[in-house]
Homo-oligomer: A and B are copies of this chain.
Amino acid sequence: MSTQVAQAAKKVGKQSLRFTNPAEIWSTFTVVGPMEGKGPLGDYFDTVLEQTYYGEKCWERAETKMLEEAIKNAVQKANLQEQDIDFCITSDLLNQCTASSFAARGCQIPNLGIYSACAGLSEGLILGSMALDGGFARHVVVGVSSHHDAAERQYRYPTELGVQRPPYAQWTVTGAGAIVLGEPRYGIRITEATVGCVQDLGIKDPLDMGSAMAPAAADTIQAHFDDFDRGPDYFDLIVTGDLARVGSVILRELLKERNIDLGERHTDCGTLVYDKRQDAHSGGSGLGCSGTVFPAHLLRKMAEGELRRILFAGTGSLHSPTTSFQGESIPTICHAVVVEVTE
């Protein structure tokens, strides 16, 4: 028999949170690979690498170095020292989240590792906001990364094989991004959040992640609207993480069936990061996709006054090569945060 349960003070509806003391974004730092640097957002990233090895012997070490630099530089840009940071929240795609762990080894900050695939940045921003709002921290850094070549050989084929990719495939972004959260100070705040449930509509093709993740995005965005009793017009922009072109179309269709019309208000980090001529097929993916596009492009637009309130809905595909070989379908998740410019 279930007890009648009252709601937690900061919980809104079934899956959402409203922060009493919203965390502010104090600084960001992004490092991307050469291909991302040549893309339409190339000018906005803090560091663009000349080559994907970044002077290391293997791509996994390059990814670690990128993430460590993103974290350290974001802390420095916030005019803080590492010892001022209460928690470092990290995530990546490598097996056993090793880019995170090896990067955290280089920063002696209490570390909380998380994993929700490419929804890592939004999960990290939610947990960081909870830590600040709850009085557990004054400064948190969230750092995420992915590396195309390391991901490709781990998830798909030996990179050197050059296997042909279907047109709906996505290109894992080589990128690392870090965001420092602190108390209200500069004006861009994370005011609300919606935590996703794991969804699975039966997609089994691990190259078709956009189709697999679209239902999770639809579910979390709808839950957000339901919990707060609002619609798409509440936001200047609704930004998904890495649905790319294929998944974005499906998301809009799924929401239309539920009488939610995103109209022109939707964009996706995976469609923004590459030019169509860059042969990235459906678009970008990976933690480095929203991990760099959200801070370098969207937060910049907010700082410049072009956007005032956005819903950032990070999307993650929770499969592994093993589960795909074992014939499993792909569970997916989406976590969303509301980011607002406040005076």
Interface residues of A (CB under 8 A from B): 1-3, 5-11, 14-15, 17, 20, 57-58, 60-61, 79-81, 83-84, 86-87, 91, 93-98, 100-102, 104-105, 108-117, 123, 126-127, 130-139, 154, 195-200, 318-323, 326, 328, 331, 333
Separation in Å of the A273 CB from the closest CB of chain B? Answer: 22
- B115 with A114: CB separation less than 8 A: yes
The CA of A197 and the CA of B113, in the complex, are separated in Å by 11
Instruction: Tell whether A320 pairs with B94 under 8 Å between CB atoms, given A11-B136, A195-B110.
Output: yes
- B10 with A101: CB separation less than 8 A: no
Separation in Å of the A18 CB from the closest CB of chain B? Answer: 10
Which of these, B15, B96, B116, B134, contacts A95 with CB under 8 Å? B96
- B136 with A198: CB separation less than 8 A: no
- A138 with B98: CB separation less than 8 A: no
| Chain B neighbourhood of A83, CB < 8 A | 14
| Chain B neighbourhood of A100, CB < 8 A | 115
| Chain B neighbourhood of A91, CB < 8 A | 115
12 contacts between A and B (CB under 8 A): A2-B81, A8-B138, A9-B135, A11-B135, A60-B322, A61-B326, A97-B115, A98-B319, A98-B320, A101-B331, A104-B197, A104-B198
- A113 with B115: CB separation less than 8 A: yes
Instruction: Tell whether A323 pairs with B134 under 8 Å between CB atoms, given A11-B86, A331-B102.
Output: no
The CA of A291 and the CA of B58, in the complex, are separated in Å by 35
| Chain B neighbourhood of A126, CB < 8 A | 112
The CA of A127 and the CA of B136, in the complex, are separated in Å by 11
Nearest-neighbor residue (CB-CB) of A131 within chain B:
B130
Q: With contacts A11-B137, A97-B115, A105-B331 known, what are 13 further pairs, Cβ within 8 A?
A: A1-B79, A2-B81, A3-B79, A8-B86, A10-B134, A11-B86, A14-B83, A57-B326, A95-B96, A102-B328, A104-B197, A111-B195, A112-B126
Nearest-neighbor residue (CB-CB) of A199 within chain B:
B105
- A95 with B198: CB separation less than 8 A: no
- B127 with A112: CB separation less than 8 A: yes
Separation in Å of the A229 CB from the closest CB of chain B? Answer: 18
The CA of A2 and the CA of B75, in the complex, are separated in Å by 10
